[in-house]
Structure 1
Amino acid sequence: MSGALIQSFRRVEPAWKALFTVLALVPLISHLFEFLLQLGFGYLTSTLARTDEAILRSISVSIISALFTLFAMRRGVMIVGESESKSLISDISRLPVVIFHFIAFIPNEISAMFRRGAHLGALIAIFGFGIFAQIIVWALTNKPSWTYNNGQEIPLIKFWGVDGMILLVILIVVSSIVYESQHSRSR
């Protein structure tokens, strides 16, 4: 059901409107129903105290899933019942490339922002990614930070969001190097 909803928004322009709608509607609709089921299950099994954790984890996974599904569908993969639909085998064979482009999308876009001179926007995007990473991983792990060796921690680096920003900056540098090498060969 969520796939059909996402597919109906795949051609909406500008893309941010589709993204916002999908990220608001899909979790709201699916998790409202799931919350009621979890609540009933928690009541029957005396596990109500864990219901909020289960819902948070489920919402986190749904956000990433909805983002990827919209990304893939905007590229003509996983489309059902339309003239440009491909076979399941064709879609599956295209998934590795789509997954790579999905992972590379944010670093490539921020790298392009730096090349255009939109430094403030790029820095805001990096910071926003850090906040997003912190919230998602915190929801998945139920821990605001990580430790090693029985509770030791590295100040500041212990937070998921900081780690996400560091990883993102590394990927932006790689994206910039790849862009420069591709464009220096074409000149």
Structure 2
Amino acid sequence: MAGRRADFAVGRVLEVLFAFPGLLLALLFIAVFGTGATTAAIAVGIGEAAGYARLIRSQATTVVRSGYVEAARGLGHPPLRVVRRTVLPNVLRPLAALATLGVGQSVVWASSLSFLGLGAQPPAAEWGAMLADGRTFLQYAWWTSFFPGLFIVLTTLSTTVLGRRLQAWLDERSS
């Protein structure tokens, strides 16, 4: 009974979080707690958290209702062992692939916040801040904005490729 109530409460909190775009939540957090690299990192994490929580909740619900969890319970395994040995590995597997895919989006969000002056403050070296500083010199020194932008794109692209490969490998391994 308590599990259903907790699931209901988590579901309602997730619905409220999904009512707002993640970047808007990040901007709200920065507006309340001020600018800075740490604040921006926490804000990006809050903006991304709802998606991960929804995935974990749906995976856990699916795994807990599966036959192999029922079999483990039927064999008399303690609940903590069932969770540790059966539920967690099957819930965390798709989360690993999603996390690597989410790194790219987080880099773009953090760079966007820094570009707007809401992330890392000078003299901290941050790609978004470098883009913002270099935009006034585009006509004379284009490379001051080109290379930070290139590294944002390459980082996002490489983590996305890594995430897709990891997802394919995990899918291949589980079947």
TM range (shorter): 0.3 to 0.5
The structure richer in helix per residue is: 2
- TM-score w.r.t. the length of structure 1 is 0.41
Q: Could you say which structure has the larger radius of gyration?
A: 2
Larger RCO: 1 or 2 (CA < 8 Å, sep 6+): 2
